[in-house]
Structure 1
Amino acid sequence: MSSSHPDLFGEEEASAPDATRRGRRSTAPVQAAEVAGPLKRLAVDLGPLVRFGTSSWYFPGWEGLVFRGRHSESTLSRHGLAAYAQHPLLRTVSLDRSFYRPLPAASYAALAAQVPDDFRFVVKATAAVTDASVRQPGSGAPGQPNPLFLDPATTLETVLRPAVDGLGHKLGVLLFQLSPLPTGWLLSPPERLPQALDRLFTALARSDRGPGLLAIELRDPELLTPELAALLKSHGVRYCVGLHDRMPPLDAQLPMLRATWPGPLVCRWSLQRGLRYQQAKARFEPFGALAAPDPATREALARLIAATVRAGQPVFATINNKAEGSAPLSVLALAEAVAALAQL
C-alpha cells in the first residue's frame, strides 16, 4: 500500500461517536450507510468471537456500502471512522498508517474516541522496526541495513507504549508485519532471526503490553518453519495468516497455526494472488464492487474461521480492497460463508 493516502489527523477535532445511538440526530460530517435487517441478523448469528474489518476506511467508493453520500478521501480519513464502526459486520479495522510512521498516544486516543466500547484495532507496528532495510525515498527499494530492525527499546518506546496508552482496551492486535527480508538475512545462520525475535518478545513481555494480542505476519515463505512456530508459541505470539501474493495459499500456512494452537486467529487477506498492489489498485478502484471474486480463498478462510470459533477462540480477520475489489463486500461474502458453515 502506498503511503500517499491523506493524513488521518489534522487541526480539526475528531468526530464524536454517532449521536443517533443516543436518540439524537447526528451532526457528524460523515453518516453511516443504511443497513438492511438481514445484514444485522447475520452479524448477530456470527456471535461475539468473530471480528471482521478492512484495511483503513477512507475510500469514497464505499458510498452506500459503509458511508451515506459521497465524500473525499480527506473527509473520510478525518471523520469516517465513526460511521465505519456503526456497520454491524465491521468490528475491527487494520490501522495501516502506523506502519509508515509511528503514531503518538494522542493520535491513538483520538481514534479510540470515535468507536464503540467493543470495537478493536489491529495496529501495524512501524516499518522503522519491522523492515530490515532502510528504504530509498520514492522508489521504496531496499537500501542500507536498518540498525533499528526488531530493536526492543525502540519498539517499546515508539510502538507498544503509545498504542497501549492511547487505545487502552480497544487495542485488539499489535501486528509485526516483517517486510521481505534482504538476502543477507535469508542467507544468514537460521538462528539469527529467531534470536532477534526472542529478544524483542522477551522485552515486550516484561513491559505493560496491555490486553491486546501480539502477532507476526511474514512476507518470506522460507520462514515458515517449525522452529519459528515453536518460538512464537513459547512467547504467546500469534502467527498471522497472510493471504498475499508473496506467501503460499492458506492451506500451506496451516502447519504454523497447528504448531501454535490453541489461540486466537489473526488473518489479513491483503492481495489477490498473481497481482501486485499497484496492478490491483488500478484494476479495482474505486473499490465499490467485487471486480475479481476469489471463492476458493474465501471458502478456505471461512472453514478456518468456523473451526476456530467452534473451538471457542476469537477471530480477527481484516481484508484489503486489493483482495477481490471491495473490502466491505468481501467481508459480507465471507461472513455469509462462515454463517452457512455454522449451520451445518
Structure 2
Amino acid sequence: MQDALFPDDEPPERPQAKPGRPASKKPVAKAKAGGPKVNPLAPVPAHLELAAALPELARLGTSSWTYPGWNGLVWDGDYSDSQLSKYGLAAYAQHPLFRTVSLDRAFYRPLTAAQYAAYAAQVSDDFRFVIKAPALVTDATVRTETGRAMQANPAFLSPELAVQEFALPALQGLGPKLGALVFQISPLPTALHSRMPELLQRLAAMLQALPSLADDAPDAVIAVEVRDPLWLTPEFAAVLRASKATYCLGLHAKMPPIEGQLPLLRALWPGPLVCRWNLHRMHGAYGYEDAEKLYMPYDKLVDEDLETRTTLARVINATAKAGHHAYVTMSNKAEGCSPLSVAALAAEIQSQRAA
C-alpha cells in the first residue's frame, strides 16, 4: 500500500493544462433586483472536463473566496471585498472545480451554528467545508490583533472549548456539508519545546473529547495541522491514530516540504487526506507579507511549484483509489492565484490517472 501511495519513481513529464482567463471579458452585467449580488463566470470548457475527470472522493478548493482579482477567473465582473464576503460563496461554489473551501475566518473568532448554517445554505449538497478551529483553542499564546504575543493561553488545547466553541456549532450548522475540522496548532513558544510529551497528552484528551461525526456528517474528518517540525514524530502519529484523527498536510514555509511530511502520512496509511497548501516554500518562515506584495491581485500564477504539485497529485490519487476522502485547499500565496493552482493541480491529477 505504501508503495502505491508514495512510489519512488517519478511519473514522466506531460504537457500541463493551463486553463486561464478567457480571451476576452464579458461586459459586467448589473444584478437583477432580487437576484444574486455576485455572479459567477460562465464555466470554462477546460474546467468542466477536468472536473469530470477528478476522482469522486477528491475535493479541491481555495482558502476563502473574497478576492476581487478573481474577476475573469471566478467572477463575471468587478466586485468589492465586502460584496464577495457577503455574496461570493454561492457564486464560488458554482465553479466546476470547487467542491470545498477552507473557511479560515473561524480561526480568528468562533462562529455560531447559525453562521455555519448560513454558509451551508449557499452551496449544493455535494459541497463540503474545511473549517479551522479558533486560535482560542489552538494557539498556546494570547496575542494582540497585530499578532504580538501577550501571555500564555490557559485555554490551549482545552477539550471543553474545542467541543463547545468549535465542533458542536460546526456540526450543528453544516451537518453533512462538513468536510474537515482542522486544528491548526500555531508555532509553539520556545519554552514548550521541551514539554512535547505533556502536549501530546493534552492533544489526545482534546481529540478524544470531540463528538462523533459519523451520523450527522459521514464524510467529515478530524485533522491536526502543525507549524513546528518537532511535532512530526511516531508519538504524534500514535496520538492521531488512537483518536481517529489524521494529519493535515500543511504546505507552509515553517514546515518541511511535502516529501519531509510524507512519513507521517505513511504512518497513518490508509486513511483520508486533508491538505492545506498555504504558502510557497521560497518565502521563508515569515513570508506572508512578501507573498502578498508579489502576488496581488492574485490573478495569475507567479511561482509555480511543479514538484509539490506532482507529489500532491500522486497522494490525492492514491487516497481516492483506496476509498478515502481527500480535501485539498490552496491559498493565493501558494503560487500566486489559487483558482489557477487548483486547475493546474486538477490537470496533474488527470494526467497521472490517464497514465
Identify whether the pair has TM-score above 0.5, normalized to the shorter chain. Answer: yes
Name the residue aligned to 1:146.
153
Cα distance in 2 between the residues matched to 1:73 and 1:205: 35
For 2:190, give the aligned amino acid: T
Give the drift of 1:208. 8.5
CA deviations on 1:156-206 (whole Å, 9 max, x unpaired) are 111111111111111100000000011121122x31111001110121147
Name the residue aligned to 1:246.
254
Name the residue aligned to 1:195.
201
Alignment match of 2:187 (pick from 180, 186, 193): 180
Q: Are residues 1:338 and 2:346 paired?
A: no
Aligned residues: 319
SS of aligned partner of 1:316:
strand
Name the residue aligned to 1:281.
292
Name the residue aligned to 1:302.
313
Cα distance in 2 between the residues matched to 1:292 and 1:25: 41
Alignment match of 1:67 (pick from 56, 72, 75): 75
**Seq. identity, %:** 50
Name the residue aligned to 1:15.
none
Which residues in structure 2 correspond to 1:32-181 (within 5 Å)? 32-138=40-146, 140-181=147-188
SS of aligned partner of 2:99:
strand
The 3 A distance-change label for structure 1 pair 37 and 287 is same
CA deviations on 1:124-177 (whole Å, 9 max, x unpaired) are 000000000001333x12221100001011111111111111111111000000
Q: Determine if contact 1:54/1:319 at 8 Å carries over to the other structure.
A: yes
For 2:159, give the aligned amino acid: P
Give the TM-score normalised by structure 1.
0.90
Q: Which runs of 5+ in 2 are unaligned?
A: 1-31
Name the residue aligned to 1:17.
none
Aligned-residue Cα RMSD (Å) equals 1.7
The 3 A distance-change label for structure 1 pair 221 and 35 is same
Name the residue aligned to 2:27.
none
Give the TM-score normalised by structure 2.
0.87
Name the residue aligned to 1:19.
none
Cα distance in 1 between the residues matched to 2:212 and 2:128: 23
For 1:179, give the aligned amino acid: S
Cα distance in 2 between the residues matched to 1:137 and 1:209: 38
Cα distance in 2 between the residues matched to 1:77 and 1:157: 26
Q: Are residues 1:327 and 2:347 paired?
A: no
SS of aligned partner of 1:336:
helix
CA deviations on 1:272-295 (whole Å, 9 max, x unpaired) are 013110110111000000011111
Q: Are residues 1:266 and 2:277 paired?
A: no
CA deviations on 1:66-121 (whole Å, 9 max, x unpaired) are 11111001000000000000011100000000000000111111100000011000
For 1:332, give the aligned amino acid: A
Give the drift of 1:37. 2.2
Give the drift of 1:299. 1.1
Q: Which runs of 5+ in 1 are unaligned?
A: 1-23
